[in-house]
Structure 1
Amino acid sequence: MIKVASYNIRKAIGTDRRRMPERILAVLNEIDADIVALQECDRRFGARTAVLPRHLLDEHSDLQPVPLARRPDSMGWHGNALLIRKSASVLAGEALHLPALEPRGAVTADVHLAGRPLRIVGMHLDLSGLWRRRQAHAVLSHLDGAVERLPTILMGDLNEWRPAGGCLADFGRDHRIVPTGPSFHARRPVGRLDRIIVSSDWIVESCGVHASRAARTASDHLPIWASLSLKN
């Protein structure tokens, strides 16, 4: 069984409007996931530097970033990054361009974890419903075009307020939407904007929203998580 999580860290700016990457790291350590998809993990302008310094991860975490960044000081691609256990290995990784009016992207990686290869996708979709669906189609087309089929986990901030329509309907045709719960706003969560989506290879053992005291302050989104096991 593995544990996965998705977390929009809002550039490490908390609900108190202070930028404190140490709080994000503390929340990640509380969750103790094997795989994490991060959104808004780089600053938006200039050199787009990572808001979680690599030395903090190296010294105070069992997680390592999948090397997907296109800029030397960034952690991810358009703010999307994937973290995996230091004991896991990266088999392949790719940054995906998504159709959008403003810069949007997704990241994908094949990793070897828990004795077998897995495929992960991290994404942060558009505020516009039309563009969200176009972006969902782009992600699904990329997965459909892969030479090798692997057990797949898709995670991220989908910005979809509807419970089952829009891009969720697109992802849900061949995948399962994990019922993690509302994660936005962190102080009073009512929106299920953050989602974990899995291929049919997976059994969802448990899932939820991590709503610790630290998480309610570290970002305006709460992290979501799921414990998964592969079908025989």
Structure 2
Amino acid sequence: MKALLPILKNAFLISLIIIGSFSPLMAQDQTIKILTYNIYHGEDPFTPGKTNLDSIAILLNELDPDIIALQEVDSMTVRSANLYGRKVNLVDELAKKTGMDGYFAKAMDYSEGGYGEGLLVKKAEYFIHQNLPIPAGGEPRAAAWTSLKIGEKNIWIGGTHLCHQFQENRIAQVQEILGFAESKSNPIIWMGDLNFTPQDNEYQLIKANWKDAAKIAKDESSTYQSATDEGRIDYVWFSKNHFELIGYQVIHVPYSDHFPVLVELKLITP
């Protein structure tokens, strides 16, 4: 949610990283548990200078999701060195602590390192880094995507953090993400800190072929809370004809100014 230094626009870029061969994620029950979490660059937002990575790792291990989308992630920054005594790639550290495969999608250069999105996946094979448009200027933004198998079905899952500064950017970024997602015939899940509420115009761009997990669960409680503001700005969206919602929960823990959102979906097979 917070601002960093203004950065010039990046050219749009999609890059591909292949980790290994495909393998079924949860072939038995056709369900997947996913979590989105803005981790505030690994620092306790209410106690400046206090680290929170160990607490987050314990929480992630307890919740045991199959895939995690992380926002506000530092990689090898001076800021991380000031917190942890050395420059740290937060995704790599959380991957080690959870036993998951990690992927960092840098959105921008920051503090002698990088800042952007992360994915943690139990069985990762295939990642894509998608840069997002910033027509109004401001901070560069990115999305991270992975392709997995549930049983015999390939699915796509993405995580992102949309612009906090300009609505024009958020609208363009939603359109870019939907353009990528709707170019696939596969089941799709995308999620993250989107920096808009259900009352905003950006939300209305997301058509009825996508389902908002919170709305389906009838739980639209706040996912972001600071001393002066709160609201529901963290989401999990899924292609409506491909999944059934099994569970939705906002986890109220004090490790960030955002709460993690945990969702369980069941793949609908013909």
* TMscore range, shorter length: 0.7 to 0.9
State the SS of the aligned residue for 1:41. strand
Matches of 1:132 and 1:35, distance apart in 2? 24
Q: 1:109 aligned to 2:146?
A: yes
Matches of 1:130 and 1:70, distance apart in 2? 18
CA contact (8 A) 1:151 1:199 kept: yes
Between Structure 1 and Structure 2, the one with more strand by share is 2
Matches of 2:107 and 2:132, distance apart in 1? 15
Partner of 1:150: 186
Report how many residues are paired.
217
Q: What is the Cα deviation at residue 82 of structure 1?
A: 1.1
Superposed structure 1 runs of 4+ greater than 3 Å apart: 43-51, 66-71, 113-116, 186-190
Matches of 1:174 and 1:44, distance apart in 2? 39
Q: What is the Cα deviation at residue 172 of structure 1?
A: 3.6
Q: TM-score if structure 1 supplies the norm length?
A: 0.82
Matches of 2:236 and 2:211, distance apart in 1? 9
Structure 1, unaligned runs of 5 or more = 72-76
The structure-2 alpha-carbon separation of the partners of 1:54 and 1:44, relative to structure 1 and needing over 3 Å to count, comes to closer
Q: What is the Cα deviation at residue 170 of structure 1?
A: 1.7
Q: 2:209 aligns with which of 174, 186, 207?
A: 174
The structure-2 alpha-carbon separation of the partners of 1:41 and 1:137, relative to structure 1 and needing over 3 Å to count, comes to same
Give % identity. 25
Mean Cα deviation higher: 178-187 or 104-113 = 178-187
CA contact (8 A) 2:104 2:116 kept: no
Partner of 1:204: 245
CA contact (8 A) 1:178 1:197 kept: yes
CA contact (8 A) 2:36 2:236 kept: yes
CA contact (8 A) 1:3 1:225 kept: yes
Partner of 2:234: 194
Matches of 1:47 and 1:12, distance apart in 2? 10
Partner of 1:24: 56
Paired residue type of 2:38: N
State the SS of the aligned residue for 1:79. strand
Matches of 1:43 and 1:13, distance apart in 2? 13
Partner of 1:74: none
CA RMSD of superposed structures (Å) = 2.9
Paired residue type of 1:93: F
Matches of 1:110 and 1:142, distance apart in 2? 13
Q: What is the Cα deviation at residue 208 of structure 1?
A: 1.3
CA contact (8 A) 1:120 1:152 kept: yes
Paired residue type of 1:206: G
Matches of 2:183 and 2:62, distance apart in 1? 36
Mean Cα deviation higher: 10-19 or 186-195 = 186-195
Rg comparison, structure with higher value? 2
Partner of 2:32: 2
CA contact (8 A) 1:38 1:82 kept: yes
State the SS of the aligned residue for 1:42. strand
Partner of 2:131: 97
Partner of 2:179: 141
CA contact (8 A) 1:42 1:50 kept: yes
Partner of 1:38: 70
State the SS of the aligned residue for 2:155. strand
Paired residue type of 2:248: C
The structure-2 alpha-carbon separation of the partners of 1:144 and 1:67, relative to structure 1 and needing over 3 Å to count, comes to same
CA contact (8 A) 1:94 1:107 kept: yes
Q: TM-score if structure 2 supplies the norm length?
A: 0.71
Matches of 1:22 and 1:139, distance apart in 2? 32
Q: What is the Cα deviation at residue 46 of structure 1?
A: 6.3
State the SS of the aligned residue for 1:137. helix
